[in-house]
A and B are shown apart, each in its own frame.
Chain A
Amino acid sequence: MKKTHLKRAAAFLLTALMAGTALAGCGGSSSSKADSDTSSKAESGSKADDASVADLPGDPKAGKVYYLQFKPEQGDAWKALAEKYTKETGIPVTVVTAAEGTYETTLATEMTKTDAPTLFQVNGPVGLSNWSDFCYDLKGTELFANLTSQDYALTDGDAVKGVAYVIESYGIIYNKTLLQKYCDSDFATVKSIDEINSFEKLKTVADEIQANKDALGVKGAFTSAGMDPSSDWRFKTHLANLPIYFEYQDEGITSTDAIKGTYLENYKNMWDLYITDSTANKTQLSTKTGADAETEFIKGEAVFFQNGTWEYGAITEGGLKDEDLGMLPIYIGVGDEANQGLCTGSENYWCVNSEADKNDIAATIDFLNWCVTSETGTTDLAETMGFVIPFKNAKEAKNVFVKIDTDLTAAGKKPVSWNFTTMPSEDWKNGVGSALTQYAAGTGDWDAVKKAFVDGWASEYAKNNG
């Protein structure tokens, strides 16, 4: 008798537990959220953003800021700046930096939490399309008004969904000392660095350096064009920007659902140059990392290194001095090359979480505004983080590459805009990257790159926007 009682009790208990978990499964979001009052307010906060608000939606003093930050290099600097802000205003600011290459997934996870990030980042129009529902309309805020140009805002219809906070440039970084050594040599056709202003000249220089690498004491003209994930973005994304940019210019568009690939031949020429006049064997590029290329450049084993302003810290810490460094525009042999500037733009946009508590939204906007207007904020952004910020109160950065960009623009050179933010998907980039690697290794031909570039664009665009 007792036995059956127990069995029943046990069965009941188990059923209850199962049912409990099952029911919890159905109402997961609501039940887990109900235990904190901030989240229940968040629901009302999200409704409020439909109405366009000029003033802050709540009281910043009663709010808090949680910033999920994208750039691993600047993680500590952001934390320090946040502490300064808390000291000054008493408003708590938490900064969390996602590990490299995991920002989107971290964000997707963090967003499910009761205390979701109040401030997050998207990388441009394609990134925005994922998170648009979560972006508070920044139109009418002081932060938006402080932008030096409205072009630096990310808009969706009428709403301002994101604001760029750092402007970066990339090009071909060169070792000035080594390049000068080449110019001074008797085998050199190009006798001055200033003469390099077209693909033709760049190719001549690179070919001659490669042919005389022993005389110059280098291993190659270009650092290894590594296709390891730590380096492949330099080619599948940044270099690929150029044929896209020139095509957009021709067509007078800023994005497209189908790329024609008008300038893919130029892309090929540039890629051939990178992999031929190189420190590394073509077949082994898939194993070469970003650190490999960086080390080669720092050690003076190569003259050219395609990278951007963000690389300044690593290069100078490695021992190269400001006077050793220069940056050339990436000439691929299209357009008015003599007047081409560096590739300049942003893939770092601030977005304020519209689902957050009203006071938190207010606190977040206040914090951002403080960062880009106050003495402390602008100094830290410019000097500690080395950022050029597109805001009126910006301080000049120490970064030598940034100065080169400023000088080139002042001299009337036209910057190449960042159109890679319109690339249809990560899978598209990976497809192009893989085709480039195989072309270099000799296991694939250029047609595969073309196919991945043109057909891949159309199919990925359809997949992600259909």
Chain B
Amino acid sequence: MFRKPKRKLYALIFVLPTFAAFCIGFIYPFINGIRLSFFDFKVITKVKDFVGFDNYVKAFQNESFVRSIWYTALFVVVNVVLINLIAFFVAYALTIGIRGSNMYRTVFFMPNLIGGIVLGFIWKKIFGAILVHFGTTLTTNAGWGFWGLVILMCWQQAGYMMIIYIAGFQSVPSDLYEAAKIDGANKRQLLTNVTLPMMMPSITICTFLTLTNSFKLYDQNLVLTGGQPIVDGIPQTELIAHNIVRHYENMKTTAIGQAEGIIFFLIVVVVSLVQLWLTRRKEVQA
């Protein structure tokens, strides 16, 4: 009884450095970022006039920004579905006891260890070599650009999600299967009535991760297509993060880029909270 508070005090002291770092590296820039989005500025230490919601209005008036929001939304939907389906079935295949499944697990996980820029360059070469036979390239054909990004993203993320799903499969108690089998359940029924409900926590976390990762994608987009091709001044394969950075880096639209960053933050928060709420509801207790 008497030792407990002391421990808590220690815990607090130990947490402090990390917390301080969190404040310096996250909370302060975040609050300052919100403040900046209401000002006109080019250089963040030489902030000019307070402009209210002007930057936000201008952001929504910008065609390329609005397009990038919808483009990203489409990208996210396709990715969340594809990555989770692939990861789920690969995980399923690797838990039913195929020979060499440990090796396969490692192989599938590997792409995740490579950084986004490097991956982008590697796939740019691969796609280039393939598309040369069709007389086209990623940066001249917006359709290929989109699927290029999707393929790259699936390749990188599926392995990571697979690991989580494998852990999920292994945590389903075998007596549940036994009981279901005794009750006469067939394989499909086992999957839909036992495995899936028991896997909901894994599905929640994987959907969350793929959702946020797809929203935030920047490196791969930058290297693979860089927003090309541009039609009527609007990049056709530009995801929202790339659009924000491009606007922020252009000194004429730095402040607008800042406001776009805040809008982006709000979208991601709302969408991921809704997703968590939706999938959490389906989770069951064993």
Contact B252 A130 (CB under 8 A): yes
Contact B252 A25 (CB under 8 A): no
Indicate whether A229 reaches chain B with its CB closer than 8 angstroms.
yes
Q: List 9 A-B contacts (CB under 8 A).
A: A22-B27, A29-B45, A105-B249, A112-B44, A130-B252, A427-B250, A428-B233, A448-B231, A459-B233
Smallest CB separation, A244 vs chain B (Å):
18
A396-B46 Cα distance, complex, nearest whole Å: 42
Interface string of B134-150 (1 = CB under 8 A from A): 01111111000000000
Q: Which of B23, B45, B46, B254 has most A Cβ within 10 Å?
A: B45
- Which residues on A sit within 8 Å (CB–CB) of B139? 227, 286, 434, 437
Binds A, one of B28-36, B110-118, B161-169, B263-271: B28-36
Indicate whether B85 reaches chain A with its CB closer than 8 angstroms.
no
Indicate whether B132 reaches chain A with its CB closer than 8 angstroms.
yes
Contact A108 B229 (CB under 8 A): no
Indicate whether A36 reaches chain B with its CB closer than 8 angstroms.
no
A416-B250 Cα distance, complex, nearest whole Å: 29
Contact B137 A284 (CB under 8 A): yes
Contact A431 B233 (CB under 8 A): yes
Smallest CB separation, B103 vs chain A (Å):
35
Give the residues from 227 to 265 in chain B that come closer than 8 angstroms, CB to CB, to chain A. 228-233, 235, 249-252, 254
Contact A25 B28 (CB under 8 A): yes
A88-B254 Cα distance, complex, nearest whole Å: 41
Contact A287 B137 (CB under 8 A): yes
Contact B230 A18 (CB under 8 A): no
Binds A, one of B5-13, B74-82, B91-99, B278-286: B5-13
- Which residues on A sit within 8 Å (CB–CB) of B46? 29, 111-112, 133, 355
Smallest CB separation, B227 vs chain A (Å):
8
A2-B137 Cα distance, complex, nearest whole Å: 69
Q: Which of A133, A286, A463 touches B228 (beta carbons < 8 Å)? A: A286
By beta carbon, the residue of chain B nearest A282 is: B135
Give the residues from 352 to 371 in chain A that come closer than 8 angstroms, CB to CB, to chain B. 355
Indicate whether B20 reaches chain A with its CB closer than 8 angstroms.
yes
**Interface residue SS majority, chain A:** helix
Contact A33 B45 (CB under 8 A): yes
Contact A463 B252 (CB under 8 A): yes
A369-B177 Cα distance, complex, nearest whole Å: 85
Contact B5 A3 (CB under 8 A): yes
Smallest CB separation, A100 vs chain B (Å):
15
- Which residues on A sit within 8 Å (CB–CB) of B226? 229
By beta carbon, the residue of chain B nearest A355 is: B46
Q: Which of B19, B45, B250 touches A28 (beta carbons < 8 Å)? A: B45
Q: Which of A29, A105, A283, A431 touches B137 (beta carbons < 8 Å)? A: A283
- Which residues on A sit within 8 Å (CB–CB) of B32? 25, 28
Contact A24 B5 (CB under 8 A): no
- Which residues on B sit within 8 Å (CB–CB) of A431? 230, 232-233
Interface string of A286-310 (1 = CB under 8 A from B): 1100000000000000000000000
Contact B23 A18 (CB under 8 A): yes
A300-B140 Cα distance, complex, nearest whole Å: 29
Contact B23 A283 (CB under 8 A): no
Interface residues on A, range: 35 or more
Indicate whether B24 reaches chain A with its CB closer than 8 angstroms.
yes
Chain A residues proximal to chain B, CB less than 8 Å: 2-3, 6, 10, 13-14, 17-18, 20-22, 24-26, 28-29, 32-33, 104-105, 108, 111-112, 130-131, 133, 227, 229, 283-284, 286-287, 355, 425-428, 430-431, 433-435, 437-438, 441-444, 448, 451-452, 455-456, 459-460, 463-464
A434-B226 Cα distance, complex, nearest whole Å: 11
A437-B226 Cα distance, complex, nearest whole Å: 14
Contact A434 B228 (CB under 8 A): yes
Contact B42 A130 (CB under 8 A): yes
Given the interface contacts A105-B249, A434-B229, A460-B233, does A111 sit within 8 Å of B137 by beta carbon? no
Contact B9 A441 (CB under 8 A): no
- Which residues on B sit within 8 Å (CB–CB) of A455? 232
Contact B229 A130 (CB under 8 A): no
Smallest CB separation, B18 vs chain A (Å):
12
Indicate whether B128 reaches chain A with its CB closer than 8 angstroms.
yes
The 9 A-B residue pairs with the shortest CB-CB distance, nearest first, are A434-B230, A130-B251, A29-B45, A25-B31, A25-B32, A441-B140, A112-B45, A286-B139, A21-B28
Indicate whether B47 reaches chain A with its CB closer than 8 angstroms.
yes
- Which residues on B sit within 8 Å (CB–CB) of A460? 233
Known pairs A25-B31, A108-B254, A227-B139; list 20 more (Cβ under 8 Å).
Answer: A17-B19, A28-B44, A104-B251, A111-B46, A112-B43, A133-B46, A283-B135, A284-B137, A286-B228, A425-B252, A431-B232, A433-B230, A434-B231, A437-B229, A441-B135, A442-B135, A443-B136, A452-B230, A452-B232, A460-B233
By beta carbon, the residue of chain B nearest A459 is: B233
